[in-house]
Amino acid sequence: METLRIIPAQLCDVHILSQMNKELIEDEKSDNQMTINELNNRMKDFLDNDWKATLLVLGDHVVGYALYQEREDVSNRKKKTFHIRQYYISRKYRRRGLGKQGIDLLRNELFQDSTISIDVLESNPNGRSFWEELGFKTYYTNMKFKS
């Protein structure tokens, strides 16, 4: 049986990350209208700055990714906080426990003894259920008004 592992993403992986990001946008029913080229450019900007990406790999197949940033924990400066901006498991690899395994790997290998924050779109109840099953709790609600 193959074991899920995480490996750091590189700039040469931008096209893989952007394609999965496009699928994530579709799945969470986001109103993001960016093209694949725009997503490529945005992902490159993320990786050129203070964001990091990790590929989730099963055997020889990239099955998902996480895009995250280390942040200062404003309530406890001695602790680290990691914000996961994007987390995705490819559609054909879902319902196998890989999403939970990936978070466990991130927690154990990269985010030890840290707070993890995420944002979940209201248009994505399945995503919200996934995070709640892992023990994440709502901390605040962000609201928008569009005219």
Tokens of 96: 């196998």
As a whole-number percent, the residues of the chain with pLDDT over 90 amount to: 75
Looking at residue 43, its pLDDT comes to 97
Dump pLDDT digits (tens) for 26-56.
988 898 999 999 999 999 999 999 999 999 9
Looking at residue 102, its pLDDT comes to 97
- Domain parsing of the chain, residue ranges: 4-133
- Residue 124 CA, chain-centre distance (Å), reads 14
Tokens of 89: 């498991």
Q: 4-133 sits in which CATH class?
A: alpha beta
Burial of residue 146 (number of CB atoms within 10 Å: 0-12, 13-18, 19+): exposed
